[in-house]
Amino acid sequence: MVADASLGLHNPLGLLAELTHRCPLGCPYCSNPLALDPRESELATPTWARVFTEAAALGVLQVHLSGGEPGARRDLVAITAAAHAAALYTNLITSAVGITANSLRQLAEAGLDHVQISIQDSEHASADRIAGYVGAFARKRALAAAVVNLKIPLTVNVVVHRANIDRIEQMVALALALGASRVEIAHVQYYGWALQNRAALMPSAEQVARATEAVDELRRRHHGEIVIDAVVPDYYARLPKPCIGGWGRRSLNVTPAGKVLPCHAAESIPGLEFWSVREHSLDDIWKNSPAFNAFRGTAWMQEPCRSCARRDIDFGGCRCQAFALTGDARATDPVCHLAPSHDDVVALAAVQEDAPYAYRRM
């Protein structure tokens, strides 16, 4: 399939580089695919260096070095140096387990620009329980201190669900205490592994309402101190979010084995053909890959999206979520109040169970 100029092809701005699916944590909302790439299939350092060079030529400005846990790669310093050499802004997304103060110093010397650390909760025991790793919380605090000591900008990412949503104020306070300049309050996305734990993770409507009020107050209170990013969780929203700014519009994702995806969860949609950087250039993939062109433009849309005034704003919502909830990736995201299946989302949000987590293990 050749790129169609009528689709209004943009240059990508961001690249998510999934260096590995290996991770010491077992988070019950893990966003990696159900079928993980084994270590032996991971791209080698020279291939990542070529990908970064091609990304920069395509217009990409920043690369997010992610996983799994990128610290599991022994060549992480060399990979970071290659991204820096390609003139990309480098952001390390880490669990903090696997990155030491010494390795962080080497990463800084290699050109690392920014660090994002995930925090599971503000309470030590709860954080370790959610992560499925004893000692994780202490490791995160230690790495955050090392990041700030090296004067590297720090973002704290908090994945919010029923077990921690009532402590948003405390988690923002923790981010401030750690020296973060930004905190991302990210609600669980229910596809992939998180679907297995949906009832155990789903917050109540009352919790979401309290959290929304808390975020508004915290933004007023800490204006000028820290940036607080937060959105209404999908299952309690009235309108869908534009999936990654629109499918194949502004970002791309390279898996550990080299497949290039329009979004992080795209492999959950069966029937899509994903091209690999092992056989194609990034430019060719961006313009001509069948997977990238599958949901570009509006021709693929069904009603009510096709005639909706918001079709060029939210692009029909999340394709992966549409498939997960309806079995049809072309359907209107059921989060939308206009979607024929919206009542199903309302019903699913009401299902909450105090059940043990099914932890993610590789």
SS (H, E, C) 311-333: CCCCCCCCHHHHHHHHCCCCCCC
Angle in degrees, CA 142, 144, 148, rounded to 5: 120
pLDDT of 274 reads 98
pTM (predicted TM-score): 0.94
Residue-wise pLDDT tens digits, 129-184: 999 999 999 999 999 999 999 999 999 999 999 999 999 999 999 999 999 999 99
Torsion angle of C-alpha atoms 98, 187, 15, 335, degrees rounded to 10:
150
| Intervals of the chain under pLDDT 50 | 1-7
Which residue is associated with the tokens 């405390």? 170
pLDDT of 361 reads 87
Asked if 74 contacts 113 with a C-beta cutoff of 8 angstroms, the reply is no
pLDDT of 1 reads 33
pLDDT of 8 reads 64
